[in-house]
């Protein structure tokens, strides 16, 4: 049992470290935590294999469970697409026919370029400027009314 546990520590530690190094899509903090967990497993395995000769040792069940949890989280985070050039055999004939038709259509009548966004005319710019100035005047009037209201209620100081 001791040899199996030490081997499990080695495999789990190396596996979690490799997982932290390979999955670049994971958040950097998560990769660091995975690397630290893997280093802890590997270090405890080295301690048990090299320096531990007799006595009691602790069997952590996390050594068997945690690598699968971390692998599942990494697979959930990383989006895996089909490898380049991979095709389903039952669709090859249909895809080839569609590809040929698309290529012929592109050679004969290329798709028109999308129209550029319309530029604002001078009249549009003037209307927008007038609306902004009207809003500014309304804010100034509101501010002036508020300041007059506060001036009326100002405390009087005895002379």
**Torsion angles phi and psi, residue 128, rounded to 5:** -65, -40
Answer for the pair 16, 63: CB distance below 8 angstroms, yes or no: no
Find out whether 9 and 48 touch, Cβ atoms under 8 Å: yes
Q: Pick the residue with more confidence: 150 or 42?
A: 42
Q: What is this structure's pTM?
A: 0.47
Determine the pLDDT at residue 159. Answer: 53
pLDDT in tens, 81-121: 555 555 555 555 555 656 555 555 555 555 667 777 667 78
| Whole-number pLDDT of residue 70 | 83
pLDDT at 2 over 60: yes
């Amino acid at each position: 049992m001791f040899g199996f546990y030490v081997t499990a520590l080695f495999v789990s530690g190396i596996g979690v470290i490799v997982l932290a190094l390979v999955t670049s899509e994971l958040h950097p903090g998560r990769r660091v935590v995975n690397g630290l967990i893997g280093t802890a497993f590997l270090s405890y395995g080295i301690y048990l294999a090299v320096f531990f000769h007799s006595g009691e040792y602790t069997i952590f069940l996390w050594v068997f469970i945690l690598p699968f949890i971390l692998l599942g989280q990494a697979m959930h985070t990383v989006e895996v697409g089909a490898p380049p050039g991979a095709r389903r055999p039952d669709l090859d004939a249909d895809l080839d026919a569609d590809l040929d038709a698309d290529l012929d259509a592109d050679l004969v009548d290329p798709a028109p370029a999308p129209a550029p966004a319309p530029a604002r005319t001078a009249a549009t710019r003037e209307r927008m400027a007038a609306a902004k100035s009207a809003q500014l005047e309304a804010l100034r009037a509101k501010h002036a009314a508020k300041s007059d209201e506060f001036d009326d209620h100002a405390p009087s100081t005895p002379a």
